[in-house]
Structure 1
Amino acid sequence: MPSERLFERAMLREFASMGAGVFIVLLSIMVVTSGAKLLSWAASGTVSADAVGALLGFTLLGIVPWIVSMTVFITVLWSLTRAWRDHEMAIWFSAGQPLTAWIRPTLTFAVPLALVVAMLSMGLSPWAKQKSREYREQMASRDDLSALSPGLFKESTLADRVTFIENFAGKSGAARNIFVQSTEKDGSQTVTVSAEGYLLSMPDGERTLVLQNGRRYEGTQGQVNYRIVQFTEARIRVQEPDRHEVRTSSEAAPTLDLIGSQDLDDKGELARRIASPVTTLLLALLAIPLAYVNPRVGRGFNLIVAILLFSIYLNLVSIGQSWISSGKLPSIVGIWPVHLVMTVVVWALFRLRAKPRT
């Protein structure tokens, strides 16, 4: 008994250290990929530069359950693959220990993380997705000036005005070197340039762009009767788009709202959330027999099979959710048949790898 406890503590330390490294690597990859996408949106003016950090945080919170599940699978797989390659498993079997003896330390490591996945998928991730949607809607419904990025031409939501701001290096962060081209209802065009400007909020909520020390050119394209007006201060009303209430999608809805809902999308989303912790545990158990390394086949063969089964399992879970959402699969059945099939696969692999191959 003391030797078994010593073995379990050693394996848990290895699982913990490797799991922390795997989680950091996966999180870094998601930060880079998601951050690059958001930065490209900010560069094109789709989102404001100051919104990148918040949207990145909400995005990461939404995918953390998937990252944790994948971390558990990779950690157990790599740790036991190392034991096979270092011939520790040969000693393990020579001591009369079965492969199933690895289940206890693996579940000791995986169960707490599965509970974390359950809490995240049931609570934090939907909240983060809803906040991300709300934030995106707020960014989309902002007035035209507040959505401007320095150095970019920005077309208004009504497509009747183009605005350019060089930078915000003026006093108190005022905009400098402003260019505004607008098209009037009669077809005439107005071009306004100014050295500096700022946004003024009126008591009634209306917002006005105040331009200072500039010129206005008014006229119709193709005609020579342009009028030039030099001004010390001019004001342009900023058109604000109609605001609308943010709708909550199924993936962003609270779990309590999904329970008892008759909407098919809600039923599919609830089944997916329930499946997340179950998937984490089954992936941890699946990694134990998949870690077997056959020196005749090659060290990378087991990794290829593991990736294949991992992808098939997650795709089947996604298919089950889509079938529930489309009404092809009763919600009372849910995704449990997929888990049952994977349980049979895990049992078969344990039977296959119960003894070391020579």
Structure 2
Amino acid sequence: MPSSAKIPLLRHCIPSERLFERAMLREFGVLSAGLFFVLLGILLVSSSSKLLTLAASGSISSSSVIGLIGFNVLATMPWLLSVTVFVTVLTALSRAWRDHEMAVWLSSGLPMTAWIRPVLTFAIPMALLAALLSLGLTPWARQKSQEYREHVASRDDLSSVAPGLFKESSDGDKVYFIENFTGSNGAARNVFVQSQNKEKQTLTVAAEGYLDTHADGQRFMVLRNGRSYEGIPGHANYRVVEFGESRIRIDEHERRPVNTAISATPSLLLWQSNQAEQRAELSWRLAIPIAAVLLALLAIPLAQVNPRIGRTFNYVAAGLLFSIYNNLINLNESWLASGRMPAWLGMWPLHIAVLLLVVALFQWRARPRG
């Protein structure tokens, strides 16, 4: 073949290490998508179980569970991305060690530090997305969650009535009880309502009941096939009324102003504030994307598999280090908020310590084994 024909082929030739990097980046992408949805499912189940428990006890309205689940998931999305990055890199590189692909990589003369570039190529965009969510979406979701809770709480007292439990209204003048919701079209069965008006007390029992909302926004509790007892406690002159259908108007409570917590404060306001608690909250939000990058780098030396020990030790060590890092971030935030650490210092000593740990692990893995 003429030499002139070989030149175009050489120009299009890609080094083998770059082909290996591209293959690993594709694996990072596919694996991270699967892990993200698995972790999202776990988060949904955990959040749903907690909120359903609160709804069953009557602490929150059953109609607000789905909305609160959505806001909780949005608020925790940045940490979910950070965990996804860490587990993805750890799992993919552990597989490469197990299948002896890393042995081929190292035997070709390339060090383990050559993995920093493809890992950062994958981790940095994910960290930027986590930063965008942490600084913007998380406080918005927490603010909307508080507004939603206040709106539902001020709407009416019946929304939080749980079957089998007595529920007192927020103003203390009514008590509700519902046995179950097995009536026709999901209506409540065996409804009990006690209301107090000055000295007069009214007890109402009905076979079925449901809520009815008019076009003008007024809400009524419709009771069917019941009996009402009205009178003064301690006196015998009670008035008994049997009815086929009765309507009790439900007055909406006055909307209370939403008390915006520091965790729901916009990041721009936190940046402009000099208060210790607000600066601590900002440091916590910035720690999430920084932790995503550092954890991705930490996963490179942690992924090395020793055939004599197996992969279990690597995953246990990785989980332990992640737990310690996460707890130290939360502890550092509390120290900043309480003034035990200067606000200007932030969490940088912790991040620098983790970076030094990454460097030490790289050097330890690079040592020749005797």
TM over 0.5: same fold? Answer: yes
Kindly provide the CA deviation profile for residues 31-51 of structure 1, in whole angstroms up to 9, marking residues without a partner as x. Answer: 111111112222223223322
What SS does the corresponding residue of 1:182 show, helix, strand or coil? Answer: strand
Which residue identity lines up with residue 324 of structure 1 in the other structure? L
Quick check: 155-164 or 73-82, which moved more? 155-164
Out of 227, 236, 250, the position equivalent to 1:238 is 250
Contact 2:62 2:160 in 1 (8 A): no
Map of 1:14-163 to 2, 5 A cutoff?
Answer: 14-148=27-161, 153-163=166-176
What SS does the corresponding residue of 1:192 show, helix, strand or coil? Answer: strand
What residue in structure 1 maps to residue 297 of structure 2? 285
What residue in structure 1 maps to residue 308 of structure 2? 296
Out of 318, 338, 355, the position equivalent to 1:326 is 338
The answer to whether the aligner puts 1:249 opposite 2:261 as a matched pair is yes
The runs of 4+ residues in structure 1 deviating greater than 6 Å are 166-176, 200-206
Note closer, same or farther for the CA distance 1:165–1:300 as it changes in structure 2 (3 Å cut).
closer
What residue in structure 1 maps to residue 10 of structure 2? none
What residue in structure 1 maps to residue 9 of structure 2? none
Map of 1:260-271 to 2, 5 A cutoff?
Answer: 260-271=272-283
Kindly provide the CA deviation profile for residues 321-347 of structure 1, in whole angstroms up to 9, marking residues without a partner as x. Answer: 111111111221110011111111100
Contact 1:210 1:233 in 2 (8 A): yes
Which residue identity lines up with residue 36 of structure 1 in the other structure? S
Kindly provide the CA deviation profile for residues 251-285 of structure 1, in whole angstroms up to 9, marking residues without a partner as x. Answer: 11111111111222110011111111111100000
Map of 1:300-311 to 2, 5 A cutoff?
Answer: 300-311=312-323
- In the TM superposition, residue 193 of structure 1 has moved relative to its aligned partner by 2.8
- In the TM superposition, residue 130 of structure 1 has moved relative to its aligned partner by 0.8
- Rounded to whole Å, the distance in 2 between the matches of 1:244 and 1:176 is 32
Note closer, same or farther for the CA distance 1:217–1:268 as it changes in structure 2 (3 Å cut).
same
Note closer, same or farther for the CA distance 1:81–1:130 as it changes in structure 2 (3 Å cut).
same
- In the TM superposition, residue 166 of structure 1 has moved relative to its aligned partner by 6.2
The answer to whether the aligner puts 1:276 opposite 2:251 as a matched pair is no
- In the TM superposition, residue 102 of structure 1 has moved relative to its aligned partner by 0.6
What SS does the corresponding residue of 2:192 show, helix, strand or coil? Answer: strand
| Structure 2, unpaired ranges of 5+ | 1-13
Note closer, same or farther for the CA distance 1:21–1:211 as it changes in structure 2 (3 Å cut).
closer
- Rounded to whole Å, the distance in 1 between the matches of 2:245 and 2:97 is 78
- Rounded to whole Å, the distance in 2 between the matches of 1:174 and 1:85 is 59
- In the TM superposition, residue 218 of structure 1 has moved relative to its aligned partner by 2.7
- Rounded to whole Å, the distance in 2 between the matches of 1:308 and 1:146 is 43
Kindly provide the CA deviation profile for residues 31-83 of structure 1, in whole angstroms up to 9, marking residues without a partner as x. Answer: 11111111222222322332221111111001111111011111111111112
Note closer, same or farther for the CA distance 1:262–1:206 as it changes in structure 2 (3 Å cut).
farther
- In the TM superposition, residue 3 of structure 1 has moved relative to its aligned partner by 1.4
Contact 1:197 1:211 in 2 (8 A): yes
Kindly provide the CA deviation profile for residues 132-161 of structure 1, in whole angstroms up to 9, marking residues without a partner as x. Answer: 111111122222234445665432123332
Which residue identity lines up with residue 294 of structure 1 in the other structure? N
Note closer, same or farther for the CA distance 1:174–1:299 as it changes in structure 2 (3 Å cut).
closer
- Rounded to whole Å, the distance in 2 between the matches of 1:203 and 1:109 is 53
Contact 2:55 2:160 in 1 (8 A): no
Quick check: 142-151 or 239-248, which moved more? 142-151
Note closer, same or farther for the CA distance 1:208–1:79 as it changes in structure 2 (3 Å cut).
closer
Quick check: 169-178 or 335-344, which moved more? 169-178
- Rounded to whole Å, the distance in 2 between the matches of 1:312 and 1:170 is 52
Which residue identity lines up with residue 255 of structure 1 in the other structure? S
- Rounded to whole Å, the distance in 2 between the matches of 1:81 and 1:152 is 52
Which residue identity lines up with residue 343 of structure 1 in the other structure? L
Note closer, same or farther for the CA distance 1:293–1:234 as it changes in structure 2 (3 Å cut).
closer
Contact 1:90 1:356 in 2 (8 A): no
What SS does the corresponding residue of 1:259 show, helix, strand or coil? Answer: helix
Which residue identity lines up with residue 316 of structure 1 in the other structure? L
What SS does the corresponding residue of 2:366 show, helix, strand or coil? Answer: coil
What SS does the corresponding residue of 2:195 show, helix, strand or coil? Answer: strand
